[in-house]
């Protein structure tokens, strides 16, 4: 019997929280660069009553993404997408961040758009970092949104000599995610489907713990200490937003980015987190 299929990328806490919230009665195809990671999360979810298939998937590879889609289609119609895959600025070099978080996310939305069924919906997990960098020009924003995927990494302002460090690359990638979701929402709408973006702040996950213990650890701890919430967030709080955006209660919401950061960005611009000039 054919099932409604949910594609989930990134075998991490955010992806699992959203999949658990939205995946009951659906076939969940869970893709991750590490097949072992995908299998481990799939086992946890299977033991909780979900129907999960683990697949090895490299977000930086169109062929790998196409394989994930093909596996999903073998079980039924693809109706949902949750993109929680990505890399951290403390883990990988600039080139990898751009290839995975920027290019790969754009390709994933494009490939899933080709097969998404009417009534379908998706969420992309970006980051508050996309809000933190200085504004790009209107031309640059448009280029991030609309440049053909195979030409994205050729954009002049994405070249290594234009990028200060891995954090800057990460900010650019997340800004691109937000703009690309707006563009893709128009295309998905032609298929009768919706797609939105969630920009989390500091959420306690293994990836975040790497950041806390990395070279910018004090920066991140100071960030949530001086935010209105006064703490980091949880994966379930992100899943609360994803549940709304992916449900029928949000039929009029598409192409949007929801910032969920405990007010850290507000504090950065207008509160105690404002940068001070030495």
Q: Would you name the residues annotated as active-site residues? A: 170, 174
Evaluate whether 266 touches 228 at the Cβ level (below 8 Å): yes
Residue 190 backbone phi and psi in degrees, to 5? -65, -20
Q: Which structure tokens are listed for 8?
A: 């989930």
Which DSSP state fits 227?
S
Identify the CA nearest to 197 among candidates 101, 79, 68, 67. 101
Q: What torsion, rounded to 10 degrees, do the Cα atoms 66, 71, 72, 74 define?
A: 130
Which DSSP state fits 271?
S
Evaluate whether 120 touches 79 at the Cβ level (below 8 Å): yes
Three-class secondary structure of residue 10 per DSSP: coil
> Distance (Å, rounded) from C-alpha 52 to C-alpha 87?
23
> Distance (Å, rounded) from C-alpha 27 to C-alpha 175?
31
Three-class secondary structure of residue 181 per DSSP: helix
> Distance (Å, rounded) from C-alpha 99 to C-alpha 60?
6
> Distance (Å, rounded) from C-alpha 189 to C-alpha 219?
40
């Amino acid at each position: 019997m054919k099932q409604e299929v949910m594609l989930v990328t990134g075998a991490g806490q955010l992806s699992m929280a959203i999949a658990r919230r939205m995946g009951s009665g659906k076939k969940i195809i869970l893709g991750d660069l590490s097949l072992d990671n995908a299998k481990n999360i799939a086992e946890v979810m299977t033991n909780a009553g979900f129907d999960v298939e683990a697949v090895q998937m490299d977000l930086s590879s169109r062929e790998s993404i196409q394989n994930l889609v093909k596996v999903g289609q073998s079980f039924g119609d693809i109706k949902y997408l949750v993109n929680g895959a990505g890399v951290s600025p403390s883990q990988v070099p600039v080139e990898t961040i751009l290839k995975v978080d920027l290019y790969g996310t754009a390709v994933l939305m494009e490939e899933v758009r080709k097969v998404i069924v009417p009534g379908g919906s998706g969420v992309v997990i970006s980051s508050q970092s996309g809000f933190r960098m200085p504004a790009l020009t209107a031309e640059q924003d448009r280029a991030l949104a609309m440049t053909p995927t195979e030409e994205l990494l050729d954009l002049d302002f994405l070249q290594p000599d234009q990028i200060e460090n891995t954090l800057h690359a990460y900010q650019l990638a997340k800004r691109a995610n937000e703009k690309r979701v707006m563009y893709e929402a128009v295309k998905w709408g032609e298929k009768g489907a919706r797609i939105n973006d969630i920009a989390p702040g500091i959420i306690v996950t293994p990836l975040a713990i790497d950041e806390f213990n990395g070279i910018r650890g004090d920066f991140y701890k100071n960030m949530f200490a001086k935010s209105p919430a006064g703490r980091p967030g949880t994966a379930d709080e992100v899943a609360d937003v994803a549940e709304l955006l992916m449900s029928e209660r949000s039929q009029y919401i598409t192409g949007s980015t929801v910032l969920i950061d405990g007010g850290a960005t507000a504090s950065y611009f207008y509160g105690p987190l404002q940068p001070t000039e030495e």
